[in-house]
Structures are given as structure tokens and as C-alpha cells.
Amino acid sequence: MFQTSWRFYLIVVVLGSVVLTGLGAWAYQLNRGIGVAGIRWPVFWGFYITNFVFWIGISHAGTLISAILRISNATWRRPITRCAEAITVFALMIGAMFPIVHLGRPWLAFWLFPYPNERGLWPNFRSPLLWDFFAINTYLIGSTLFLALPLIPDLALVRDRSRGWRRKIYGTLALGWRGTPRQWHRLETAMHIMAIVIIPVAVSVHTIVSFDFSMTMVPMWHSTIFGPYFVAGAIFSGIAALIVAMAILRRVLHLEDYLRPLHFENLGKLLLMMSLLWTYFVFAERLTIWYGNEPSEMAVFWATQRGTYAPLFWTMVICNFVVPFPLLAIKRLRTIAGTVVASTTIIIGMWLERFLIIVPSLANKYLPYSWGTYRPTWVEITITAATFAAMALLYVLFAKAVPIVSIWELKAGERMAAPGIAAKPARAMTPSDVGADLQVRPGPA
């Protein structure tokens, strides 16, 4: 955190350039109109809504996984919790922007917000699109709190080891933390409450995102399976994103002593389970459509199985099942490299899955005269690439600004694992247990 090399500035400049290019493409769209995108009748949802669903799914990497592991008292989670929780906040911030990017006149986006106004404009409260507004904002606020709470002791630690302007900034962010028994008790209580609350919120968010599709009568969207299908896919892609982020942090920041093969192996097992669950949902969905043999749905079905979108569909199957399954199921292959390769293919496959849910159904509606095609333009592709660069940039800056591994949780885990302290609950931690190990000294008020 206190030593900066030229590599850091190079990474920031490269990623920042890509993000600025994406902003320039959006400015071009604002100037020329939404027509510069590939969105046209009958496909009015394309790359933008695909990215929206994809990034909201990626956000399940952190808060949901971290909360479940924290409640189940999985001690191996300690080094990875902050890596995961940061992904949630940044992915939500990026995903929530796409409904705005998708609008033809985004400067009037506030017309869609549910607040009292003198114009008499009120959204349709029965629309799942409005439910998204409440669900995503609730999840973003809760995830930010869930990330910020365990940061406080580590920010105090940085405060006590810094000087000048850094000491003032971290002193303010540490909220007067001194490591007293009362503060530890309140922190543990707040984190426990947030872990319990955030799980149903996380599940409800992607369920409501699935309602954007399943509440309509578009072929292959009107399905009761979409709720759990979307949640499973979100957790699936989220774990994959977490593994890739951990591998990069481990290599670049030399965190080999903290992010160990054990963590990748355990997350690989979770990823294997989610791969099987995702395959089950895809098979159940396709089997139900094929067995029902409804003409409008069969048109979409065959378009994805052996028609225009067949190459993308089978690439998705290869990326999400054929490649990950042997890498994660065979213990000898479930190494750090194996899990990273599997996770990379899964991220690609899950983006394709979101695209295949949206575009083929809109391009092949009930009657053949309403069929159409969709081809993304350079504007959409540039903005999509910029979102991945923005995610990487935010993560790089976050890892530079705060300890990316929770120091106090590691210290607590070491003390609990020590002889004679193994049975000591985390709630009983005091400054003599953790604060003394961290050498937290009184800082500025």
C-alpha cells in the first residue's frame, strides 16, 4: 500500500484508457442517438441488457458466498472474504448503469424513478423493471455495508502505520476505532446480522432480474424455472470471477502464503457443484420446451440448437460444462491453474448464456413476419469491453487503497487455532486477542 512501482501506473493508464474509450463511445451514442447501436425492431434488448444481467450475476460472487461461509463458520474463508465482497460492490455498480446506458435519452432517466413529482408521472408498480430498482439499490447498500464493516479494524491499522495526509484520511475512515471490547462486540454483532440479512436479499435480486423475462409472454421466457435458474447461474459465474480475481492477486501481490491451494480447491468443489446444477437447469428447460412442442417456442429452440445461434449455444455448453467438469472433478487437475482455466471458460460461457436468453427469443417471436436479426455495433462492443476494464480498474485501485486480505480476521483465526484457544468463539475476541497482535495504537479522534 505504501510502495508504488511503475507497473501500477501502467496498469491504471491502460485500463483507464479503455474505460475512457467506452465513455467516448457512449458520448457518441448520446450525440447521434440510440440508432448507432444494433438495437432495432424486434430486438430491443441486446448487448446492454446482456451486460446488465451478467454483471448483476457476477455480483453474487462476494456477499452471498462470504455471508454463507461466515454463518457456517468455515474458517478457511478468512483470506478470501474481502476479495469476494469487493467484487459484489463493483459488479453491482457497473451492472446498475446499463439500464441508463440502454435508454435513448438517459438524461431523463429520473422520470422512471418512483418518487413524488409534480408532473404526475408514476412508474407502473406492477412491473418487474421497477422491482429491479428497489432490489438492486437495497443489495448495493447492504453489500457496501457488508464490505465496509470488517474494513474498520484494518483501516485503523493502516492509520497507525501512516503519516501525514494518509494518516488523516485513514483516521477518518477508521471511525475512531480503538479495538476496545465494546467495539469488537458491536462489530461482530453487526457483521453477524448483515450476514443473515444479505443472503435473502442477494437471492431476491437475481430472482427479480429473472422476473424481467419470465413475467412476459415472449417465447422461452415465460417459465417458472427462471427464478432458481438465474440464481444458480449467478452464483456459478460469481464463484468463477472470484477464483480468477484471487489468482491474479496471488500472482501480482505475492500472496502465496495467504491465498493457498486449499482455497482454490474448495472453491473448485463449489464450482463443480454449480456446474452440475447449471447443466441440470439447462437440460430441464430445453426438455420442457421440446416436449411441449409449442410452435413459437420451437422456433427459438431450433434457432439455438441448430440454427443461427447454434455455434454460440454449443460454445456455451463447452465452456460451462465440457471443459470445467473434468478439470474440477478430477482431484489431480483441480489445481490453481486448473480452477483458473475452468473459471475463465465459465465467465465466457455465462456471458454467452445471458445473450442466448435475450436475443434469440426477441428475434423469433410468435409470427414469422415479426422475426428479425441483431448485430452489435462497434459502440456496443466498445462499451462492453470498457465495463470489464472498469471492473479491473476498480479492483486495482481498491487493492492499492486498503488491505485486500482481512488482517484482523487472519489474526483471529491464528489465535483460535492455537493450542488451548481452538474452542474460543469469535465473539469473545478482545484487544488482547486481536488488537494486541495487530498493535493497534490510539490514533486521532
Question: What does the pLDDT profile of the chain (445 residues) look like in tens digits?
Answer: 888 888 999 999 999 999 999 999 999 999 999 999 988 888 889 899 999 999 998 987 777 777 887 787 777 888 888 888 899 999 999 999 999 999 888 888 888 777 777 777 777 788 888 888 889 999 999 999 989 999 999 999 999 988 888 889 999 999 888 988 999 899 989 988 988 888 888 888 989 999 999 998 888 998 889 999 999 999 999 999 999 999 999 999 988 888 899 989 999 999 999 999 999 999 999 999 999 999 889 999 999 999 899 999 999 999 999 999 999 999 999 999 999 999 999 999 999 999 999 999 998 887 777 788 899 999 999 999 999 999 999 999 999 999 998 888 888 777 766 555 444 444 434 444 454 445 444 444 3
Q: Which amino acid is at 381?
A: I
Domain locations in the chain as residue ranges? 216-365
Cβ-count burial of 69 within 10 angstroms (0-12 exposed, 13-18 middle, 19+ buried)?
Answer: buried
Answer whether the bond into residue 42 is a cis peptide, omega within 30°.
Answer: yes
Alpha helices of 33-127 — where are they, by DSSP H? 47-58, 63-71, 81-102
Of 391, 380, 426, give the one whose Cα is nearest residue 406.
Answer: 426
**Which amino acid is located at 48 in the chain?**
Y
Residue 350: CA atoms inside 13 Å, Cβ hemisphere, count? Answer: 32
CA–CA gap between residue 202 and residue 64 (Å, rounded): 6
Q: Distance between CA atoms of 392 and 381, rounded to whole angstroms?
A: 17
| Nearest residue to 305 via CA among 369, 356, 373 | 356
* Whole-number Å distance between alpha carbons of 57 and 83: 16
Q: How far is it, in rounded angstroms, from Cα 163 to Cα 156?
A: 13
φ, ψ of residue 366 to 5 degrees: the values are -60, -45
The separation between CA 84 and the C-alpha centre of its own chain, rounded to angstroms, equals 9
**What is the residue type of 207?**
T
Q: Alpha carbon of 139 to those of 134, 149, 194, 392: distances in Å?
A: 9, 15, 11, 21
